[in-house]
Homo-oligomer: A and B are copies of this chain.
Amino acid sequence: MGLTSALARAAQVRGSHTALVYGDRRLTWSELEKRVPRIAGGLTRLGLIPGERVAVLSLNNDLYAELFLAVPYAGGVIVPLNTRWSEVELVKVIDDCEPRILAVDDACLAMGQALARHRPSLTLLFIGHRAPGHIQNYGALVECPPIADHGVTGDDLYAIFYTGGTTGRSKGVMLSHRNVLRGAAIAHSEGYYGEEAIYLVAAPFFHASGSWPLVAVTASAATVVILPSFSAEGALAAIEKHRVTESLFVPTMLQMLIEHPKFKSTDLSSFQTIVYGGSPITSALLDRAVSALPNTQFIQAYGMTELAQCAALQHRYLKGEHRTKGTHRAAGRTCYGLEIRIVDEHDNVVPAGQVGEICVRGETVMLGYWRRPEETEAAIRDGWMHTGDGGRLDEDGFLHVVDRVKDMIITGGENVYSLEVENALAQHPAVRECIVIGIPSGKWVEQVHAIVILHHGARATEESLIAHARSLLAGYKIPRSVEFRTDDFPRSSANKILKRQIREAYWAGRASGIS
């Protein structure tokens, strides 16, 4: 089964039901089924050959959502790009995945043009509102004659999502049709994304968590409401207007939502389910959210892009006995159809209660990293995805995430890999040594913090180092604060910087950011 087969089913069983809502635009499953073969025909006319990539650099909109179906229909692979990345970062990604077409909206047009200058073989496609005359316009695609479904399915590559990497360079996570449809089925098994769902996409499509709702609602023939980007006010208005039943929020979004002045006056009675995840949530925030939305079910999920949605979740254990036992602070229990185990550094399974690396096996494990066979082999061994996260399973089978082995900072729901920021700062001539860690932030849960030791006699200010980082990195990766030290960093007997120990000083009295 592929995504386009799911579309065919949706049109068959609920043709007149609303599929997509974006602003004032609406499409039914039947209309979508008629448009997709035409758009696929247009992509083919633009030169797309089956197997080739179509990258998209855009805020969320309905045309972008259609591309998630039209690209596989034409036999292509969709590559959603992070709109927050710098040109330097995007150029690396474009050179890595070599797309034939790059779709851009108004907000990303200038960046798209810069990328097209860098890579002349790239055809630009405009999916925004004010069409510039000189680039291909999406509207024309819909007028193309329809083509036949190319029939990509099963283990065929569906999408590539770029994530930051522990090595400091972005890696393309390859997800198959089976991966994402199995991920959707897991969600359906747990009772959400069902056919009556009206799902609000609050996360950007370039995050797997933003685009997999598109897969899940296609598989169940439900409805998806799309916001161009997240704002608490926009989300509240959409929930009330469209009678939204479900959404996924990272804790930062959830906090913004319940703290918004209009929160109390908004009719949220339709809102049945909130999935939260993507970064640690504090008990305090969870308690506030649960009491602010007493009729909403909260589902805690643990997952990652490499696992095509969540691997563990819980929704029945946030109260009562489990609260006393601390179970409500766990990430949840292994999802239907998957296996989770905790291993030591020699890949031996450790007993319940003991901390080790979280490994996951099942049909949602990614195909691998695009053109990185060695990193793929390192990550997936004997079918087990080695997540790089530290955790333990308790006696009741609840997974507790205790550490991010990968040295990752999660700020406002975005993953920032320390090494990437450290590499950028280290390019500044004054920097002798630096480490980057996440420190507590009321708004972002964690904020990126750099600790720098300068070369003897060299000078640099916080502002100059931040400006240097800005020239190389996406905004959310840039340190919010820089601290200068003259003493050397504490080191292990193997001479490794004891980063975790340095970090802990900032988190004293808090649950290390993971609750």
A residues near B (Cβ < 8 Å) are: 1, 5-6, 8-9, 12-15, 181, 185-186, 188-189, 191, 194, 219-220, 333-334, 336-340, 361-363, 393, 396-397
Interface of A is mostly: mixed
Which of B15, B185, B191 sits near A336, CB closer than 8 Å?
Answer: B185
Q: Which residues of B sit under 8 angstroms from A14, Cβ to Cβ?
A: 397
A339 and B188 within 8 A (CB): no
Give, as a whole number of angstroms, the nearest-CB distance from A371 to chain B. Answer: 26
Which residue of the partner chain, among B9, B220, B333, contacts A338 with CB atoms under 8 Å? B9
Query: Are A339 and B397 within 8 A (Cβ)?
Result: no
Q: Is the CB of B8 within 8 A of A339?
A: yes
Distance, CA A189 to CA B194, complexed state (A)? 8
Cβ A188 vs Cβ B336 within 8 A: yes
How far is B186's CA from A336's CA once the two chains are assembled, in angstroms?
Answer: 12
Inter-chain contact A12/B189, CB cutoff 8 Å: no
How many copies the complex holds: the figure is 2
Q: Is the CB of B8 within 8 A of A185?
A: no
Contact A339 B189 (CB under 8 A): no
Known: A9-B338, A9-B340, A185-B188. 4 other contacts (CB 8 A): A1-B339, A185-B186, A188-B188, A188-B336
Chain B: minimal CB distance from A30 (Å): 10
Option from B6, B188, B334 in Cβ contact (under 8 Å) with A12: B334
Instruction: Say yes or no: A9-B189 contact (C-beta < 8 A), given A1-B362, A339-B1, A397-B15.
Output: no
User: In the complex the two chains form, is A185's CB within 8 Å of B181's CB?
Assistant: no
Report the minimum CB–CB distance from A344 to chain B (whole Å).
Answer: 18
Is the pair A340, B185 in contact by a Cβ cutoff of 8 Å? Answer: no
25 pairs, CB–CB < 8 Å, chain A vs chain B? A1-B337, A1-B339, A5-B339, A5-B361, A5-B362, A6-B337, A9-B334, A9-B339, A12-B340, A12-B393, A12-B397, A13-B334, A13-B396, A15-B397, A181-B337, A185-B185, A185-B186, A185-B189, A185-B337, A188-B188, A188-B336, A189-B194, A189-B220, A191-B191, A219-B337
Chain B positions within 8 Å of A397 at CB level:
12-15
Closest 7 CB pairs of A and B: A188-B189, A13-B397, A13-B333, A12-B397, A185-B185, A9-B334, A5-B339
Pick from A15, A189, A194, A220 the residue with the most CB of B within 10 Å.
A189
Closest residue of chain B to A12, judged by CB?
A: B397
A298 to B133: give the CA distance in the assembly, Å: 58
CB-defined contacts of A9 to chain B, threshold 8 Å: 334, 336, 338-340
Residues on B with C-beta less than 8 A from A220 are 189, 336
- CA gap between A5 and B336 in the complex, in Å: 11
Most central of A5, A181, A362, A393 by chain B CB within 10 Å? A5
Which residue of B is nearest A332, CB measured? B13
- Tell me, in angstroms, the Cα distance from A53 to B191 when the chains sit together: 37
CA distance A469 to B362 in the complex (A): 50
Query: A1's contact among B5, B194, B338, B396, by CB below 8 Å, is which?
Result: B338
- State A188–B187 Cα separation when bound (angstroms): 10
Closest B residue to A182 by CB, please name it: B185
Write the nearest CB–CB distance from A339 to chain B, whole angstroms.
Answer: 5
Shortest distance from the beta carbon of A4 to any chain B beta carbon, whole Å: 10
Do A219 and B336 contact each other (CB < 8 Å), given the known contacts A1-B362, A189-B189, A361-B5? yes
Closest chain B CB from A249 CB (angstroms): 24
Which residue of chain B is the closest to A15 with respect to CB atoms? B397
Cα–Cα, bound, A140→B362 (Å)? 34
Q: List B contacts of A338 (CB < 8 A).
A: 1, 9
The distance in angstroms between the C-alpha atoms of A172 and B331, with both chains bound, is 44
